[in-house]
Chain A
Amino acid sequence: MVTTTSMMNCDPSPEANEVKNFLAEYAAILLGCGATCIRIEKNLRRMAEAFGMYVGTTIMPTYILLSIRTRNEAFSYCSIERPKKGGINFNLNTQLSKLSWEVADGKLTFCEARQRLDEIAHSPHANRWVVLLLVALANASFCRLFGGDGKSMAVVFVATLCGFLLRQEMLRHSIDLRFVVFCSAFLSSVIGATGHIFDWGATPDVALATSVLYLIPGVPYINAVSDMLDGHYICSFSRFMNAVILTFCLSLGLCCGLLVMEQSWF
């Protein structure tokens, strides 16, 4: 009998092959949005068990390896996925974790789960102009925390506004992140140094130091330690190196900015 393709070819009691495809896509999105290894493993295992299967994972920096087998050991499938890179995204992380619990608690069937995964993967980002304003405000208050005065805060606000706008625009054209960080750090430090040149405020040094801090890859550093505590040393090291390289690009941008502005201490 030929069945019609209702609900996107979806069988309510899924076969191992389909579960594998679903879990592989799920894992690729979760790893790409910057989730820690322990979370990826727990979420995958939880969902596989709900579908009556076992899952084994190896998480490497540039790909994720899944192996699925049914409980009666009749079928076993393997899959290698590359993470879907889209930058750190806590909204995706939260939605996907919720999805895994809903599947585990039996609130969603396989078909519904697959549909939800599709919806989550295409969920919209926050408004970029609001983000731009919030980041600039955040960096200005950061300057205050380091003891900067009002004028320094204003300099940092403008420096961050310009630098982050440049970052957004360059990332939109999918330019390499390391180069983006370098250019943004350069621009922000050049603007941050104006406090020194025109003698604005009593704390121009703090303004210059703070102007590039919004580029620090904080989440990768934290994820690296989380992976280390969980024993995923290779993944931890790779995340750490990634963060170190970005920090290095940031410093390089800052150095070039300082050299161009010919600070008094040379």
Chain B
Amino acid sequence: MTIGFIQDALFSAIAAIGFASISNPPRAIYGSCALTAAIGHSCRYLLMSDAWCGMHIIPASTIAAFLIGTLAVLLAPRIKCPAEACFSPALLPMIPGVYAYRTVKALLLCLFQHEEVAFNHYLYLLMSNGLTCMFIILGMVVGATIPMFLFKKISFQATR
């Protein structure tokens, strides 16, 4: 449990740094980006683990994303960077990649089926994975963006 928690934090930090580097951020941002990603992702891990809350992945992602957004807004004035540059890469490790992959796979399988029972099964897989994936992303993005609008004063004066 503890090892899983630490691993989760470490790997999400590496992922955040790598994905941040695609969008050419200022150097100062890497540290806080890794920190927010690690805290956010391990928070989701705790919320979802059965020993703690055993929460469903959609509300857990939303709460974790809200935490990431709030942290990013608070850290932004210290590193003198816009808040969105800090939390966008930090959110990426939470993208439900496996659900997205299963959706695409189910779609392909569904298209090439001729029998009704099998078709319905793959259609069910397509819809359940697709809906979960969509709502995780929606919850994540909305959760992370709300703090920026709640603390407009801080988030838009960060680069002053």
Contact = CB atoms under 8 A, between A and B. Distances in A.
Interface of A: 34-36, 38-39, 42, 87-95, 97-98, 100-101, 105, 125-126, 130-131, 134-139, 141-142, 144-146, 205-206, 208-210, 213-214, 216, 218-219, 221-226, 229-230, 251, 254-255, 258-259, 265-266
Nearest to B16: A138
B19 A90 contact: no
Interface of B: 7-8, 10-12, 14-26, 29, 41, 80-82, 84-85, 87-89, 91-93, 95, 97-98, 100-102, 104-105, 107-109, 112, 137, 141-142, 144-146, 148-149, 156-160
A98 B79 CA distance: 12
Nearest to B103: A251
A141 B16 CA distance: 10
A229 B98 CA distance: 28
B121 to A, nearest CB: 13
Contacts of B89: 218
Nearest to A124: B24
Contacts of A88: 22-24
Contacts of B160: 101, 105
B19 A97 contact: no
A131 B105 CA distance: 30
A192 B24 CA distance: 26
Nearest to A259: B108
Contacts of B19: 135, 138, 214, 218
B11 A130 contact: no
B114 to A, nearest CB: 13
A254 B108 CA distance: 11
Contacts of B93: 142, 145
Given A209-B101, A230-B149, A126 B24 contact: yes
A165 to B, nearest CB: 13
Nearest to A101: B160
A257 B10 CA distance: 31
A258 B29 CA distance: 37
A34 B145 CA distance: 15
Closest 6 CB pairs of A and B: A138-B18, A209-B101, A90-B85, A141-B11, A90-B25, A97-B159
A254 B147 CA distance: 35
B148 A226 contact: yes
Contacts of A101: 157, 159-160
A125 B137 CA distance: 29
B56 to A, nearest CB: 18
Given A138-B17, A139-B18, A222-B88, A90 B23 contact: yes
Contacts of B15: 138-139, 141-142, 145
Given A135-B18, A226-B145, A229-B145, A146 B82 contact: no
A135 B22 contact: yes
B21 A146 contact: no
B141 A229 contact: no
Contact of A36 (B23, B29, B84, B109): B84
27 contacts: A39-B82, A42-B156, A89-B24, A97-B158, A97-B159, A98-B159, A131-B21, A135-B21, A135-B22, A138-B17, A138-B18, A138-B21, A139-B15, A141-B15, A206-B98, A208-B101, A216-B97, A219-B88, A221-B141, A222-B87, A222-B91, A229-B142, A229-B145, A255-B104, A255-B108, A258-B105, A266-B108
A141 B14 contact: yes
A137 B14 contact: yes
Given A90-B26, A131-B21, A146 B159 contact: no
B104 A225 contact: no
Contact of B21 (A130, A221, A258): A130
Contacts of B144: 222
